[in-house]
């Protein structure tokens, strides 16, 4: 038992912190937010060269085979820096593909795409939620019907991150509509620009874009199968758990930075002849902020560690996400309060952290949804 | 990072659990409850403490030269967790809280006398810090110790001196120089409670326990009752408090009302009906996450201390989060159980009537050993380096 970082973990955290501090200033963040490109291609390429796009992928796919907790630390640092690159969806999709390849399940497209994904030459994303967002199997209703060697897809996915800049999208569909929500699910790797696909990118609170993606009679070849037909939930469940933990890591990273900005501001800003950070009313806010974000960080790391060790992660993941969603919003709120009027001003940088970390806490399951999972794990009978 | 305990740790846990299952009878628990209510330490409890001492589990992480066995702090943490799990109302940590200060500042004669007796439970200390004029502002204390040829003459008063009625000694902080800056005129004395001139008066508390006022009237102690340097007591006191703070005992206290509530809602017939409400389940899930944070904060402090680090603010975070969580839990329990929550006793009282005791007792955590406000100031100043006004 030692919940602190070990040497390897400290190294990836420190290297990433150093890199993003040096490379990723707020001008770069604002340039992407205000620009047309929606990704910092140069930064993306740098991440590829550092081996970070394949950090936790197997070596045979061009990855570094780092344990999952190290990827979570990297993503935490990217979140802290508000790095304007789709590291989250790309990592989530590529790890799911790697799972399928390792199990030797599905078509050959997954393995041929993975090497390019690690090299930054192929950008991946994933599509899960439809009308009712969430991370349960019942969020997936879209049908895929067998057609020759492959499938015909009809339906609509929502809240797809980075779809407009992605090359491939891992899509969860139903190949069998009967049975429990966990049954009859299949994962398919769809080319983003395939015939019959249309998408509308919608600007979100965090300054990035989420697409609503329509599939109209889209043909997908059998080669695009990821995992096994009908048992997609076997791959999707760990994929969603990783997605949730990496999302928590981003929130924690950005929220801690937002809090640190407020602590610094409290030391500089003078009122009534004293730095406001010398007032106990402000000091006690700051004490709560660091305590809350530390709590979210520890829960997140515990969840990441469970995943890394191959332990049942359902409870720690849900605990981390429900706590992080709510507590980090509280930290952000107090950080704004300390900044006062400047918190609302666009040209002042604090809002960059506030909007993103808050927006990230709205993705991949609400606190309420994750607490239902926690309650179930505690042995309570499910009531809906 | 590693969030689990090793096989060796777990086999030690099993050993402790087996011992407690065998030796903690309902009669002993009853006796300890009575002891907390001011009846003194009973015979059965003393026997149990003796057996625990024989196994080397009191002060187990101390160096061997002082009667410990150099055990990993994790083992001590596990031992404390198991005591709490067995709901043994016995705080062995209190028995030896002052030992690190004696190891650090004591003379050879003091170490030789006190340390082996502490691990055997033969010497126990009450903590003589807080006075009627204040606890947080400890350095302003007024109890005086005046040196003369034979030793020191002590006059003054302490308050909230828990276990004073059952301790062999008091670890007393007193002013030895009133004419210097307040932190620099304080000394610590190790005073037998049967010294003439000491009077103990009980203060009965809401959860059914006892604390005390202790009065010192012309109490004469020899020179060798002084611990460390005269006028250097403040700095010994601070180090003793820090070393005593990395352990499982406190978080176990903070989360025990949640564990009791969870067990009632899962296992009791009425509890299960109440728990069929999704609103109740949501609240319990929220409290679970918060309890987990309390535990992780403790594990973090322990990890830091084991690495030889001195946590600048993390232990204070434990002392803000845990007690306030405990209070939130008892308040939530009161609104989930409603009428049942009031019952101290009777067949229909949930969990044998523990809930009202926990409800009125939880507040003690938010001000005992430093209020949560004092802790927040410490986090801000020591952890975040925010300036003093």
Report the percent of chain B where pLDDT is more than 90. 62
Local confidence band at B66 (pLDDT 50, 70, 90 cut-offs): confident
B143 and B156 Cβ atoms separated by less than 8 Å: yes
Same domain, A189 and A260: no
In a domain, A1, yes or no: no
Local confidence band at B239 (pLDDT 50, 70, 90 cut-offs): low
Cβ distance of A1 and B74 shorter than 8 Å: yes
Instruction: Provide the pLDDT for residue B121.
Output: 78
* Residue ending a domain, choose from A231, A257, A273: A231
Q: For the purposes of burial, counting CB atoms within 10 Å of the CB of A51, is it exposed (0-12), middle (13-18) or buried (19 or more)?
A: middle
Same domain, A245 and A337: yes
Q: Which two tokens stand for residue B19?
A: 């011992």
Q: Where are the domains of chain B?
A: 7-90, 125-236, 245-383
Using the predicted structure, report yes or no on whether residue B36 has a pLDDT greater than 80. Answer: no
In a domain, A70, yes or no: yes
Instruction: Provide the pLDDT for residue A66.
Output: 97
In a domain, A384, yes or no: no
Characterize the bridge pairing of strands A168-174 and A124-127.
parallel
Query: If you measure CA to CA, which chain B residue comes closest to A282?
Result: B380
Same domain, A218 and A286: no
In a domain, A220, yes or no: yes
Instruction: Provide the pLDDT for residue B43.
Output: 87
Cβ distance of A323 and B289 shorter than 8 Å: yes
Cβ distance of A290 and B384 shorter than 8 Å: yes
The nearest CA of chain A is from the CA of B322 a distance in Å of 11
Contacts with B287 from chain A: Cβ below 8 Å: none
Same domain, A17 and A146: no
Using the predicted structure, report yes or no on whether residue B231 has a pLDDT greater than 70. Answer: yes
Report the percent of chain B where pLDDT is more than 70. 97
Using the predicted structure, report yes or no on whether residue B316 has a pLDDT greater than 80. Answer: yes
- For an interface test with A, the pick among B77, B317, B382, B386 (most A C-beta atoms closer than 10 Å) comes out as B386
Instruction: Provide the pLDDT for residue B389.
Output: 77
Same domain, A168 and A187: yes
Number of helices followed by number of strands (H, E) in chain A: 11, 10
Cα–Cα distance for residue pair B77/B92, rounded to 1 Å: 12
Cβ distance of B384 and A286 shorter than 8 Å: yes
pLDDT tens digit sequence for B295-315? 999 999 999 988 988 898 999
The nearest CA of chain A is from the CA of B246 a distance in Å of 14
Same domain, A224 and A304: no
Cβ distance of A69 and B293 shorter than 8 Å: no
In a domain, A383, yes or no: no
Query: If you measure CA to CA, which chain A residue comes closest to B8?
Result: A1
Please tell me which of the candidates B3, B276, B317 has its beta carbon nearest to residue A3.
B3
Q: What is the CATH number of domain B245-383?
A: 1.20.140.10
Q: For the purposes of burial, counting CB atoms within 10 Å of the CB of B12, is it exposed (0-12), middle (13-18) or buried (19 or more)?
A: buried
Same domain, A268 and A364: yes
Same domain, A180 and A292: no
Q: How many CB pairs under 8 A join A and B?
A: 157
Query: If you measure CA to CA, which chain B residue comes closest to A320?
Result: B289
For chain A of 384 residues, list the mean pLDDT of each consecutive stretch of 10.
97 98 96 94 97 95 95 98 98 97 93 94 97 94 96 97 97 93 96 97 93 97 96 97 98 98 98 96 98 98 98 98 98 98 96 98 98 97 82
Q: What is the CATH number of domain B7-90?
A: 1.10.540.10
Instruction: Provide the pLDDT for residue B143.
Output: 97
- For residue A184, the enclosing domain spans 125-231
Using the predicted structure, report yes or no on whether residue B144 has a pLDDT greater than 60. Answer: yes
Instruction: Provide the pLDDT for residue A303.
Output: 98
Instruction: Provide the pLDDT for residue B272.
Output: 96
Contacts with A284 from chain B: Cβ below 8 Å: 373, 376-377, 380
Contacts with A381 from chain B: Cβ below 8 Å: 275-276
* Residue ending a domain, choose from A231, A248, A282: A231
In a domain, A296, yes or no: yes
Q: CA-CA distances (angstroms) from residue A71 to A18, A84, A312, B126?
A: 16, 17, 19, 50
The nearest CA of chain B is from the CA of A300 a distance in Å of 11
Same domain, A109 and A140: no
* Residue ending a domain, choose from A91, A121, A151: A121
Cβ distance of A2 and B307 shorter than 8 Å: yes
Local confidence band at B246 (pLDDT 50, 70, 90 cut-offs): low
Same domain, A180 and A82: no
Same domain, A70 and A137: no
Contacts with B284 from chain A: Cβ below 8 Å: 375, 378, 380
Same domain, A298 and A370: yes
Contacts with B265 from chain A: Cβ below 8 Å: 380
In a domain, A172, yes or no: yes
Instruction: Provide the pLDDT for residue B79.
Output: 92
Residues 58-97, chain B: which have Cβ within 8 Å of A?
74
Please tell me which of the candidates B284, B292, B317 has its beta carbon nearest to residue A294.
B317
The nearest CA of chain A is from the CA of B170 a distance in Å of 34
CB contact B307 to A (< 8 Å): yes
Report domain B125-236's class: mainly beta
In a domain, A51, yes or no: yes
For the domain that residue A207 is a member of, what is the CATH number?
2.40.110.10
Using the predicted structure, report yes or no on whether residue B244 has a pLDDT greater than 60. Answer: no
Q: Count of domains in chain A?
A: 3
Using the predicted structure, report yes or no on whether residue B243 has a pLDDT greater than 90. Answer: no
Instruction: Provide the pLDDT for residue A132.
Output: 92
Cβ distance of B1 and A4 shorter than 8 Å: yes
Q: CA-CA distances (angstroms) from residue B30 to B33, B52, B88, B176?
A: 5, 18, 10, 43
- Neighbouring C-beta atoms of residue B199, cutoff 10 Å: 12
- Least confident window among A26-30, A95-99, B97-101, B193-197: B97-101
A163 and A223 Cβ atoms separated by less than 8 Å: no
Cα–Cα distance for residue pair A285/A287, rounded to 1 Å: 5
Instruction: Provide the pLDDT for residue B34.
Output: 80
Cα–Cα distance for residue pair A370/A326, rounded to 1 Å: 11
């Amino acid at each position: 038992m030692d919940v602190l970082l070990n040497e390897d973990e400290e190294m990836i955290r420190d290297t990433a912190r150093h890199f993003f501090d040096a490379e990723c200033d707020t001008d770069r963040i604002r340039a992407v937010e205000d620009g047309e490109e929606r990704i910092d291609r140069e930064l993306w390429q740098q991440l590829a060269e550092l081996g970070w796009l394949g950090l936790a992928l197997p070596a045979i796919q061009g990855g570094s085979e780092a344990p999952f907790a190290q990827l979570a630390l990297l993503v935490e640092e990217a979140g802290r820096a508000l790095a304007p690159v789709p590291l989250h969806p790309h990592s989530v999709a590529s790890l799911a593909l790697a799972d399928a390849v390792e199990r030797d399940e599905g078509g050959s497209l997954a393995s041929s795409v993975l090497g390019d994904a690690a090299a930054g030459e192929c950008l991946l994303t994933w599509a899960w939620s439809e009308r009712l967002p969430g991370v349960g199997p019942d969020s997936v209703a879209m049908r895929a019907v067998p057609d020759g060697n492959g499938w015909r897809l009809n339906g609509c996915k929502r809240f797809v991150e980075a779809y407009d800049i992605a090359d491939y999208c891992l899509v969860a569909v139903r190949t069998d509509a009967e049975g429990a929500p966990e049954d009859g699910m299949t994962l398919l790797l769809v080319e983003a620009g395939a015939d019959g696909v249309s998408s509308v990118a919608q600007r979100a609170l965090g300054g990035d874009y989420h697409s609503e993606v329509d599939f109209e009679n889209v043909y997908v070849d059998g080669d695009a199968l990821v995992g096994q037909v009908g048992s997609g939930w076997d791959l999707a469940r760990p994929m969603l758990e990783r997605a949730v933990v990496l999302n928590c890591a981003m929130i924690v990273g950005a929220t801690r930075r937002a809090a640190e900005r407020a602590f610094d501001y409290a030391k500089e800003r003078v009122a009534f002849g004293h730095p406001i950070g010398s007032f106990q009313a402000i000091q006690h806010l700051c004490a709560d902020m660091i305590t809350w974000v530390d709590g979210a960080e520890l829960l997140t790391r515990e969840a990441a560690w469970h995943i890394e060790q191959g332990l049942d992660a359902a409870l720690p993941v849900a605990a981390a996400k429900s706590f992080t969603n709510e507590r980090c919003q509280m930290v952000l709120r107090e950080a704004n309060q300390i900044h006062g009027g400047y918190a609302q001003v666009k040209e002042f940088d604090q809002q960059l952290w506030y909007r993103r970390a808050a927006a990230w806490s709205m993705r991949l399951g609400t606190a309420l949804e994750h607490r239902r999972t926690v309650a179930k794990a505690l042995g309570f009978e499910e009531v809906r | 990072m590693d969030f689990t305990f090793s096989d060796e740790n777990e086999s030690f846990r099993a050993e402790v659990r087996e011992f407690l299952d065998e030796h903690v009878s309902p009669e002993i628990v009853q006796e300890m409850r009575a002891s907390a209510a001011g009846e003194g330490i009973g015979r059965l409890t003393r026997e149990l403490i003796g057996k625990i001492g024989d196994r080397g589990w009191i002060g187990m992480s101390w160096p061997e030269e002082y009667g410990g066995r150099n055990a990993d702090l994790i083992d001590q943490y596990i031992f404390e967790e198991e005591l709490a799990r067995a709901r043994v109302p016995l705080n062995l940590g209190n028995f030896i809280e002052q030992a690190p200060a004696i190891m650090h500042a004591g003379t050879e004669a003091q170490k030789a006398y006190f340390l082996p007796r502490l691990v055997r439970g033969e010497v126990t200390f009450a903590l003589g810090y807080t006075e009627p004029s204040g606890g947080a502002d400890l350095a302003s204390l007024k109890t005086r110790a005046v040196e003369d040829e034979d030793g020191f003459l002590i006059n003054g008063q302490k308050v909230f001196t828990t276990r004073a009625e059952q301790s062999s000694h008091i670890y007393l902080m007193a002013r030895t120089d009133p004419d210097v800056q307040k932190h620099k005129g304080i000394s610590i004395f190790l005073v037998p409670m049967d010294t003439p001139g000491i009077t103990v008066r009980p203060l009965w508390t809401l959860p059914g326990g006892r604390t005390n006022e202790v009065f010192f009237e012309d109490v004469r102690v020899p020179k060798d009752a002084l611990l460390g340097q005269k006028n250097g007591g403040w700095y010994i006191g601070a180090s003793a408090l820090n070393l005593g703070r990395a352990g499982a005992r406190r978080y176990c206290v903070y989360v025990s009302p949640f564990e009791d509530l969870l067990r009632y809602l899962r296992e009791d017939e009425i509890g299960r009906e109440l728990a069929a409400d999704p609103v109740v389940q949501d609240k319990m899930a929220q409290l679970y996450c918060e309890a987990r944070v309390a535990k992780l904060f403790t594990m973090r402090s322990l990890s830091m201390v084991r690495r030889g680090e001195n946590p600048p603010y993390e232990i204070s975070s434990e002392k803000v989060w845990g007690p306030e969580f405990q209070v939130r839990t008892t308040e939530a329990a009161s609104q989930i159980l409603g009428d049942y929550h009031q019952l101290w006793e009777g067949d229909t009282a949930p969990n044998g009537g523990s809930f009202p005791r926990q409800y009125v007792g939880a507040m003690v955590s938010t001000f005992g050993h430093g209020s949560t406000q004092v802790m927040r100031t410490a986090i801000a100043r020591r952890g975040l380096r925010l300036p003093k006004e």
